[in-house]
Chains A and B, each alone.
Chain A
Amino acid sequence: MFKKSMMLAVIFALLLAACAPAAAPTEAPVQPTEAPAQPTEPPAPSGEVVKATPGQALNMVFLPKNLGNAVFDEAHDGASEAAQELQNSAELQYLAPASGAAGTEQISIITNATTQGVNAIMISNNAGDQIAPAAQAARDSGIAVVTWDSPIPSAEGEQVFVAQVDFDETGTVMADMALDILGADGGKFAVLSASPDAANQNAWIAAMQEVLTDPKYASLELLDIVYGNDVSEDSYQQALALVDKYPDMELIMAPTTVGIAAAAKAMQDEGLCETVKVSGLGLPSEMASFVKNGCSPEFALWSFKDLGYLTYFLTYLIASGDLQGVEGEQFEAGRMGEYTITNDPTRDTGLRVLMGPFSKYDADNIDEAVNP
């Protein structure tokens, strides 16, 4: 009885598909003017600065790590701005998993986008190398895959990574801020990161550990690295635990916007701001009061809006076939000027476009940053 009804269901479904004109699965997705098929031999970059041709209809998906992190909304704003400027008639899809705990949702989104036959996907990767098979499958079906904010560590399945800043430089910036805050005689500090598997945070921390071996930073001692999973409550508890675990700790360095805000609130609530400072990467609009009351005297970030804008421009160019996504190509990204695709020196393989620069925020410029 069961088998028969299943068969019936399938037959029914097939019949419907045959009758329904709207449901023509063979209908090809909107093709870009030139399919971004992988040429066996990419033409050598001509050395010209490629400019985008506005007005093409390209289906593009913007995929951040998760929802609820204000920086990704800013990046989305930037991408939307670029989409408008380029007069892309296809709507920009902003698809985000609600929680960043495990990256499997990103894999589903990429796989479904591949089935839909979109033209391009822009990923802030939260699944490490686990995303590579899905991204590779997307590439194999001719979809442009660009990562931003957080790359695919092995670069497999990714064409270009739009790096917000140089990942090695992030290490230096964090070490410098630590030295700045702790003073010339240095001190002990700990790192409060996002999830243990976040590719960009791990790269930044590794870069910082590398930098710390320099004699210039000999007075700094890194006590521990803990993970708040980019969830406020976990980060808050981890920050308080650090204080008790290391009574002589003077600074918490949190290279994540969720972590830095949670840690600063924890120190403020417990009245610890005099003894333990908080620094790292934070969003000015979330950190203003902590800068003013001294809990977080100094932190850094880059413009996520620009990052979204630049990513969109690059992806548009690749998806429309104007760029091949090979080393040495130069392109113009609207208001942000000219950029070059280079090898990524911070990874073993992969290409990147470097944005930069860092903006450091302290009591002097925080108001201006919040209300420009």
Chain B
Amino acid sequence: MMRRLERLKSWEGFLLAILILIVVFNIFTTPHYLQIQNQINLFQLHIEKIIIVVIMTFIIINAEIDLSVASVMGLAGCVMAYLFEQGVPFGWCLLAGLMTGVLAGLINGFMVAYVGLTSLIVTLAALIGFRGLAHVLLENRSVGNFPDWFDRLGQQPLIGPFPLAMIVFFVFLIIALIILQWSGAGRHVYIIGNNRQVARYSGVNVRRVKMTLYVVSGTVAAIAGLLLAARLGSMRGDTALGTELEVITMVVLGGVSIFGGTGTLFGVLLAILIILNLRNGMGLLNITGEIQTGVIGVLLILSVLGPNIWRGVRDAWNRRQRIQRMHVGEE
């Protein structure tokens, strides 16, 4: 246990070093990097994604996965937009959007925790199905003209230079940190991720924890979807398409094992900062999205491969030293 803690600490230190490197690189290559507005944009362009990263961390530590988050984002926004288009009072539209997320989470959670299906296939089907429903609702229309206050919340700063979505992110992050790293419930998430059987024997209600996580995941995705609707000012059927893999990338770069049980939110936060700064820096150098993703891919692999190679070299070196010492002793 102690050793694992040590390992994690060093992982976070390693991520921090990468982050500093990227920040320094950005400062030197792009004159606009340090502008306050750019620092806000850096978060704001991906803010909905990173809100979801926080809850996805819980799910992956719990040895499950939720591929449907992007579709739930889109669906929640589309439900809200559809009802708004039909003339329903806006407050109810927002509530309905939120409830969509809860319902989506209930379906996923039920299938995984109670029916016992693999989460990969359940949430993959949900990815297809919820996205499909979003298209059913809005077809080829784009629905906008939401109330002014809603657009303002999404597009303009709320407190100081910070827009609402950023505040939501940091609040979520703090709550998640407290729950995952310092509470009993958080320990249960780790225990289940490590070994489901042991968790059951030690009295953890595995099903309820999993169910809760999926419902929270759906709800958070819906909140993210509504925030996205506010930021973009209108909704379409394909909004937020295909963001699930980037969410997962951030979580695993943060040091969370895809088989569950390990990783911390600190690491994930560092991974978020790394990826956002990398994207921002490259964007300002006129490198477009797919290539940015490719560079992030290289970083993702190297971040695990590098330490592995280092460890291998070190071990080989130590062995040689030991052998040499033995020889010296013989003489």
Q: Are B32 and A25 in contact (CB under 8 A)?
A: yes
The answer to whether A115 and B24 touch across the interface, beta carbons within 8 angstroms, is no
Q: Which of B31, B34, B241 has the most CB of A within 10 A?
A: B31
A-B contact count (CB 8 A): 123
Specify the chain B residue showing the minimal Cβ separation from A93.
Answer: B286
Instruction: Given A111-B41, A112-B284, A132-B233, check contact A102 B144 (CB 8 Å).
Output: no
Q: Which residues of A contact B34 (CB under 8 A)?
A: 13, 17, 23, 25
CB proximity of A220 to chain B, nearest CB, Å: 21
Chain A residues, Cβ within 8 Å of B240: 102, 104
Instruction: Give bound CA distance, A24 to B9, whole Å.
Output: 35
The answer on a CB contact under 8 Å between A27 and B31 is yes
Question: A153 vs B289: C-alpha distance in the bound complex, in angstroms?
Answer: 24
Q: Give the residues from 269 to 284 in chain B that come closer than 8 angstroms, CB to CB, to chain A.
A: 279-280, 283-284
Query: In the bound complex, how far is the Cα of B288 from the Cα of A225, in angstroms?
Result: 32
Interface of B is mostly: helix
Q: Which of B121-140 contact A (CB under 8 A)?
A: 135, 139-140
- Contact: A97 with B140, CB < 8 Å? no
Question: Is the CB of A109 closer than 8 A to any CB of chain B?
Answer: yes
Q: In chain B, what residue has the closest Cβ to A5?
A: B16
Nearest to B281 among chain A residues (CB) is A112
Q: Is the CB of A196 within 8 A of B139?
A: yes
Q: Would you give the 0/1 interface string for A71-115, flagging 1 where the beta carbon is closer than 8 Å to chain B?
A: 000000000000000000000010111110110110111011001
Q: Which residues of B lie under 8 Å from residue A128 when comparing CB positions?
A: 142, 234, 236
B238 at interface (Cβ–Cβ under 8 A)?
A: yes
In the complex, what's the smallest C-beta–C-beta distance from B33 to chain A, in angstroms?
A: 7
Do B28 and A23 touch across chains, with their CB atoms under 8 A apart? yes
Contacts A130-B233, A197-B140 given; does A115 touch B284 at CB 8 Å: yes
Q: A129 contacts the other chain (Cβ, under 8 Å)?
A: yes
Alpha-carbon gap, A117 to B284, bound state (A): 10
Q: Which of B16, B19, B266, B289 is the one whose CB lies under 8 Å from A97?
A: B289
What A residues does B38 contact at CB under 8 A? 115
Name the residue on A nearest B48 (C-beta): A104
Inter-chain contact B236/A105, CB cutoff 8 Å = no
Give A137 to B20 CA distance when docked, in angstroms.
30
Contact of B31 among A5, A16, A25, A127 (CB under 8 A): A25
CA distance A16 to B13 in the complex (A): 21
| CB nearest to A112 among chain B residues | B283
Set of chain B residues within 8 Å of A9, measured between Cβ atoms: 16, 19-20, 23
Interface residues, chain A, CB within 8 Å of chain B? Answer: 1-2, 5-6, 9, 12-13, 16-17, 20, 22-25, 27, 93, 95-99, 101-102, 104-105, 107-109, 111-112, 115-117, 127-130, 132-133, 153-154, 195-197, 202, 225, 227
18 A-B residue pairings within 8 Å (CB atoms): A13-B20, A13-B34, A16-B27, A23-B28, A25-B31, A25-B34, A101-B238, A102-B239, A102-B240, A105-B288, A111-B41, A115-B37, A115-B41, A130-B233, A130-B236, A133-B231, A197-B236, A202-B140
Closest 3 CB pairs of A and B: A196-B140, A130-B232, A98-B290
Give chain B's interface residues, CB within 8 Å of chain A. 9, 12-13, 16, 19-20, 23-24, 27-28, 31-35, 37-38, 41, 45, 135, 139-140, 142, 144, 151, 154-155, 231-234, 236-242, 266, 279-280, 283-284, 286, 288-290
